[in-house]
Amino acid sequence: MGLTQYYAAASLDGYIARPDGDISWLTGFGGGSNMDPSDVTDRTFDAFMAEVGAVVMGSKTYEYVLEHSIAWPYDMPGWVMTSRDLPKAEGADLRLVEGDASRIHTEAVETAGDKNVWMVGGGNVASQWVEQGLIDELIVTLVPVILGEGLPLFANGIPGEFKTKSVRPFASGMVELTYDFPR
Ligand SMILES: NC(=O)c1ccc[n+]([C@@H]2O[C@H](COP(=O)([O-])OP(=O)(O)OC[C@H]3O[C@@H](n4cnc5c(N)ncnc54)[C@H](OP(=O)(O)O)[C@@H]3O)[C@@H](O)[C@H]2O)c1
C-alpha cells in the first residue's frame, strides 16, 4: 500500500489560492528570472507524479482545473468530492462522490495499489481527510509571495505538532517542506 499525501503549494502566508480561487501567482511563478516554469521545483513534481496511482480533490479545485486546463491533466483514476451533479472532464477516469471521506479514501487506496494517493486539495477537503486520520504525509511547496488574504492550506486548525521530514530548497526560490502526519 502506498502513502496518502496532501501535496500543495502555498504562499509564504499560508494560502493556496486568492479569495476568488486564482492561482496565477503559482502557475506563473518563474523565480524572478527567465527560468523555464517546469524547472521551478527542480522537476521533483515529475518524480512525485510518477508514484501517484489515484487523485482526490474537492469540487472547487475540480472546477478550477476544468476551467483553466486545456485537457484533463491526470492520467490516473480520480475522485471528486461534491454534492452536485458536475460535468465530467472529457477523457477522465472520474467518480463524483459525496459523504464520508474514509470510504472514498478506502476506494482510492485500493485502486492505487502500491502507488500513492494524492489528495490534491483544497483546504476544505484536506481538513476532512486530516480530521479522519487519512493523510500520511503533507508536502507543501512554499512560494515566496505574500497574498495577504486567500483560501487556506487547511480550512480548520489541527491540534498537536507535526514531525518535519525534509526541507528542500529549489533554485527558483521555492522551498519544499515535508511533514509526517501520524494516523
Ligand atoms: N495551491 C495549490 O497547490 C492548490 C491545491 C488545491 C487547490 N487549490 C485551489 O484551492 C481552491 C479550492 O479550495 P477550497 O478549499 O475552497 O475547496 P475544495 O476543497 O476544492 O472544494 C470544497 C467543496 O467540495 C465539496 N465537498 C467537500 N467535502 C464534501 C463531502 N464530504 N461530500 C460532498 N462534497 C464535498 C463541497 O462543494 P459542493 O458539494 O457544493 O460541490 C465543498 O464546497 C481552488 O481555487 C483551487 O485552485 C490550490
**CA–CA separation, 146 vs 150, rounded Å?**
10
Mean pLDDT value across the chain: 94
* pLDDT, tens only, 122-165: 999 999 999 999 999 999 999 999 999 999 999 999 998 999 99
How far away, in angstroms, is 151 Cα from ligand 1 center? 10
List the grid coordinates of 69: 486546463
Q: Which ligand 1 atom is nearest residue 18's CA? A: 45
Percent of the chain with pLDDT over 90: 85
Atom 47 (ligand 1) nearest CA: 61
Ligand 1, atom 45, lies closest to the CA of 21
Q: Are 179 and 137 in contact (CB under 8 A)?
A: yes
Distance 57 CA to ligand 1 centre (A): 7
What does the longest C-alpha to C-alpha distance in the chain come to? 45
Given this model, what pLDDT does residue 138 score?
A: 98
pLDDT for res 6: 98
pLDDT of res. 42: 84
Mutate to test the pocket of ligand 1, among 83, 86, 135 (most ligand atoms within 8 A of CB): 83
Quick: pLDDT tens for 100-121.
999 999 999 999 999 999 999 9
